[in-house]
Structure 1
Amino acid sequence: MVIEYSGIVIRSVLTDKREKYYDGKGIGCYMFRMDDFDVVDATMHGNAARFINHSCEPNCFSRVIHVEGQKHIVIFALRRILRGEELTYDYKFPIEDASNKLPCNCGAKRCRRFLN
């Protein structure tokens, strides 16, 4: 275990409204979908996990775990991580059509070129 992705748990139907609000205020948006119903919004009340970048060849992975009936997002190491090495995981965004593709800039040898 490396770190828990913490923030405020919101219903997924509220994400678009929050994203528009943050965009209007010029605030970067940090949200992580737990399942079809819940999202962790780390934008205002998150920890350092929100700054972990995507990579197509990551050194970490994420899992939703259950502890005493509560869901938590936890980032785990895939391998030994060296001091000073950037932490990364695959965001695994849903596949979109060509007009909605988000470019990937991870720089990995086997980069998929898109996050979704």
Structure 2
Amino acid sequence: MVIEYSGNVIRSVLTDKREKYYDGKGMGCYMFRIDDYEVVDATVHGNAARFINHSCEPNCYSRVITVDSQKHIVIFASRRIYCGEELTYDYKFPIEDASNKLPCNCSAKKCRKFLN
């Protein structure tokens, strides 16, 4: 285990509204989906996990685990991580059509060229 992705747990239906609010304030938006109903919004009340970048060849992976009937997002190392090495995981965004593709800049040898 490397770190838990923490923040405010909100209902999925609120994510678009919050994202528009943050965009209007010129803020970055840091959200991680737990399941179809809940999302962790780490934008204001999150920890350093929100700054972990995507990679098509990551050194970490994420899992939703349940502890005392509460769901938590935890980032685990998939291999040994060396001092000074950037932490990364695959964001696994849903596949989108060509007009909504987000370019990937991970520079991995096997980069998929898009996050979605």
Q: For the superposition of Structure 1 and Structure 2, which TM-score range results when normalised by the shorter chain?
A: over 0.9
Q: What TM-score do you get using the length of structure 1 for normalisation?
A: 1.00
In structure 1, distance between residues paired with 2:83 and 2:27:
30
Q: What is the match of residue 62 of structure 1?
A: 62
Equivalent pairs counted in the alignment come to 116
Segments ≥4 residues shifted beyond 2 Å? none
Q: Distance in 2 between matches of 1:98 and 1:39?
A: 26
Gaps of 5+ in 2: none
Give the Cα separation in 1 of the matches to 2:30 and 2:115. Answer: 15
* Structure-to-structure mapping, 1:96-111, within 5 angstroms: 96-111=96-111
CA–CA distance in 2 between the matches of 1:13 and 1:99?
24
Identity of aligned residues (%): 86
- Structure 1 unaligned regions, length at least 5: none
The TM-score with structure 2 as length reference comes to: 1.00
Q: CA deviation at 1:22?
A: 0.1
Cα-Cα RMSD = 0.2
Q: How big is the shift at 1:31?
A: 0.2
Partner of 1:15 in structure 2?
15
Helix, strand or coil: the match of 2:62? Answer: strand
Residue identity in the other structure for 1:13: V
